[in-house]
Structure 1
Amino acid sequence: MENTSFSNLTSEEANNTKNCEKTISVFFQDGRQQFISQEAYDTFFLVTIIINEGMSVLGVATNIINIIVFVKLGLRESTSISLLSLAVSDLLLTLLALWSNILYIPQFSSFNTPLRADEMFFVTGGVARMFVSRTGALITTYIALERCLCVIAPLKVKAIVTRRRTCTAMVTIFIITIGPSLFLYNNYHIAYYYYPDVNRTLLGASYIDTEVNYILDRVVTAVCGTAFLIFSFATTSVCTIYLVIYLQRSTKWRLTHSKTHDKTNEALSNNNDTNVTVATVKDRRKKEVESKKKSLTSTQRTSKDDRVVRTVVVITMLFIVCFFPGCVAFALYVALPGFTLYGRYGQLFVLVYTVCFIIEPINSCFNLFIYYSMGTHFRTMLHQVFRLKMPK
């Protein structure tokens, strides 16, 4: 459609689109099965939007703080690069959530804006959020796999997981998750349309309803939406279980090692052999001091590794809880005909994904509190950057 000014656009011109195009709001109304009343439907959305908007604002603030602190800490380790990338992905997700919530306020149409809110919400908010959330999911999976590799092959991990390879992996994840959205957006046409229900010409979106676009829509959504999410969910779950088992074994080893070391020192101190020379005593004391230093160094290293593992476990467990409903929803999208925005179960589709959209930002909001409570360096740097007093 040619670029026509809003004031000079007539209803006939606005409706002059290809026969295969149909505005998304028309899909909302065609053949959809109603599961709840429209009044309950609107109330549900108003409550969820208020909750989601608050979570989105919190997520934007916390992820900006995360990015600042990680940049200040430096990107000397591959884990820092991964966590910074996760913060960037979470920031994009919460910004999109903030925008889509504004669009989906039921009273938005009364603001006299030249936008068809429900259609622009789907195209600029809902679809984009799906792809960006998959970016965060794959990054979380990478972090979990990296930490498992540190546990399995601690001597080889630095040679395998380098800073350059981690940067390459992060860029690749962003490309393979966000890139396919360009193909999906090719199925939609944003232009001015006349809407009889409001008797106005508004900027809206139409779905180009062809067989090729339908297949492309299903394939891209199945791969990027479902396959990526289920792969991330399954892999992260397995890694989390393995790391939890490792932590339990590590704790038992430290307790056993500490008891054995104490018994050895006690045996040496209780040695009352009168034939022991001064040189032998000095030699034993020297070995005892060296043994304590080695034990302390080993314990400190193990304790530091365990803290990192615990942080990763908490992050991955939060991811699993928040993305489980999304796995179920996308499985329904693929397996159940009509479970689409414009299908027979369109209202159920919107209800399910609204719940998912509420839960998913939680995963993007609370990482700051995890880093602060479990990361000493992160906590210290945060207090330095924002000039906060360290807690006693």
Structure 2
Amino acid sequence: MNLTSVQVGLPLISEEAYYVIIKVLHFPMMVFSLSGLVTNSLNMLVFVRQGVTSDSVTVSLFVMSLSDFAASLLMFPQVICYYLDSLNLPSVKSCYIITSMATTYPHIVFGKVTCLIQTYISVERAYCVVFPLKVKRVIKTRNTVIINIILCIVTIILFTPYPANLQLVWVRDNLNSTRATFVFNSVGLTMAKVNYINGSFIIPNTAIVVNSVATVVIVARLHVTRKWRKTLSSAGAAPKSQKMSSKSLETSKTVIVITSVYLVSLICGQLPAMTAFALPDVTQEGLNKYLYDVIFSIRFDIEAMHSTVNLFFYFKMSSKYRQVCQAIFMNYTR
């Protein structure tokens, strides 16, 4: 049936079905955006109480929570404007298109920041478990702060040229009222292609490979450590290079869990690119633009959900996070 639709030049999703699906998909987007604001606010509060610069991992987790908070905050206006736009009120009819660049695009940028920081956390932890004797010399809080700042700046530099070459204009629609739209020059068109290559292929696919390799390395190292502890628990001390503190072990397990969850989110986030590769008509301006929007909305739902769930893994896996979190609730309930 789908093949026939393509052959006769019909879209795979009708306009009527598209509006129903999008309306449904925006509801979980709203729920996850709100919950993301709450959970990441709590994450940041806990990390501040722990001491943001107390260790390298806490620095990165704080910045990642800040990025997720910003992403959740910037996604929420799109959801509100979508439902307002559906009311066809003259005063708000351009709300959705304006927020698409004013808030949704920055949301995507913060998503890339999260991606890069999560990847750095995985690589750093893999290095720590493979070279435990070099950790204090190489992995320093100051270095991690600098790296996080560099990752944020590089991401902003990569994705700023596209919106910088867009212009908001007001046009007459078929109801003889004005509606906002964005137009871009030749540079903007080029930067849109560059953004697509960087954001849909280079950054996420590199992150998938690097996070996967780092996770395998950490798991393998933990397996070796567990075997060593079982076989040599009563045979005396082992070489220092084989030792791993309980704190390092707990941190490594936490990183494994959050990285694995993020990998699932990252792979699912590749749905638009994979669909566009398999079906060339599935683009923003193509025959199947409705399908493109649906898939992108699913991607936003998955990203919004991921930005919410890390708190539960931190609470479950990290005893220090759990203690600080419980202390915060105890103070507020007194």
Change (3 A) 1:299 1:187: closer
Q: 2:268 aligns with which of 304, 325, 336?
A: 325
Aligned amino acid, residue 50 of structure 2: L
Q: Counterpart of 2:195?
A: 220
**Residue 88 of structure 1 pairs with residue 66 of structure 2:** yes
Query: Residues of 2 paired with 1:99 and 1:114: CA distance?
Result: 12
TM-score, normalised on structure 2?
Answer: 0.87
What is the CA distance between 1:337 and its match in structure 2?
4.7
Q: Counterpart of 1:73?
A: 50
Q: Which runs of 5+ in 1 are unaligned?
A: 1-31, 265-290
Q: Counterpart of 2:294?
A: 351
Change (3 A) 1:243 1:257: same
Query: Residues of 2 paired with 1:59 and 1:367: CA distance?
Result: 10
Q: Counterpart of 1:128?
A: 106
Answer whether contact 2:82 2:96 (CA < 8 A) is retained: yes
> What's the secondary structure of 1:199's corresponding residue?
coil
Superposition map of 1:184-263 within 5 A: 184-196=162-174, 198-202=175-179, 204-208=180-184, 210-258=185-233, 261=234
Q: Counterpart of 1:10?
A: none
Query: Residues of 1 paired with 2:154 and 2:16: CA distance?
Result: 40
TM-score, normalised on structure 1?
Answer: 0.75
Change (3 A) 1:184 1:338: farther
Q: 1:371 aligns with which of 314, 320, 327?
A: 314
Answer whether contact 1:86 1:139 (CA < 8 A) is retained: yes
What is the CA distance between 1:167 and its match in structure 2?
0.9
**Residue 161 of structure 1 pairs with residue 136 of structure 2:** no
Answer whether contact 1:226 1:331 (CA < 8 A) is retained: no
> What's the secondary structure of 2:64's corresponding residue?
helix
Answer whether contact 1:46 1:106 (CA < 8 A) is retained: no
Query: Residues of 2 paired with 1:388 and 1:373: CA distance?
Result: 21
**Residue 45 of structure 1 pairs with residue 22 of structure 2:** yes
1:135-162 deviations in whole A, cap 9, x for unaligned? Answer: 1011000000000000111111221121
Aligned amino acid, residue 183 of structure 2: Y
What is the CA distance between 1:181 and its match in structure 2?
2.6
What is the CA distance between 1:351 and its match in structure 2?
1.4
> What's the secondary structure of 1:192's corresponding residue?
strand
Query: Residues of 2 paired with 1:334 and 1:164: CA distance?
Result: 42
Answer whether contact 1:97 1:125 (CA < 8 A) is retained: yes
> What's the secondary structure of 1:387's corresponding residue?
helix
Answer whether contact 1:222 1:334 (CA < 8 A) is retained: no
What is the CA distance between 1:348 and its match in structure 2?
2.0
Aligned amino acid, residue 207 of structure 1: V
What is the CA distance between 1:38 and its match in structure 2?
2.2
1:303-344 deviations in whole A, cap 9, x for unaligned? Answer: 322211110011101111111122242355578655431233
Change (3 A) 1:171 1:183: same
Query: Residues of 2 paired with 1:335 and 1:222: CA distance?
Result: 16
State percent identity of aligned pairs.
26
Q: Counterpart of 1:147?
A: 125
What is the CA distance between 1:79 and its match in structure 2?
0.7
Answer whether contact 1:130 1:225 (CA < 8 A) is retained: no
1:342-366 deviations in whole A, cap 9, x for unaligned? Answer: 2333222111111111111122101
Superposition map of 1:28-67 within 5 A: 34-67=11-44
Higher alpha-carbon Rg: 1
Answer whether contact 1:89 1:133 (CA < 8 A) is retained: yes
Answer whether contact 1:60 1:91 (CA < 8 A) is retained: yes
Q: Counterpart of 2:5?
A: none
What is the CA distance between 1:385 and its match in structure 2?
2.1
What is the CA distance between 1:302 and its match in structure 2?
3.2
Aligned amino acid, residue 211 of structure 2: T
Query: Residues of 2 paired with 1:40 and 1:346: CA distance?
Result: 13
1:237-265 deviations in whole A, cap 9, x for unaligned? Answer: 1111221222222222222223xx1xx7x
Q: Which runs of 5+ in 2 are unaligned?
A: 1-8
Query: Residues of 2 paired with 1:172 and 1:334: CA distance?
Result: 32
Answer whether contact 1:42 1:106 (CA < 8 A) is retained: no
1:261-286 deviations in whole A, cap 9, x for unaligned? Answer: 1xx7xxxxxxxxxxxxxxxxxxxxxx
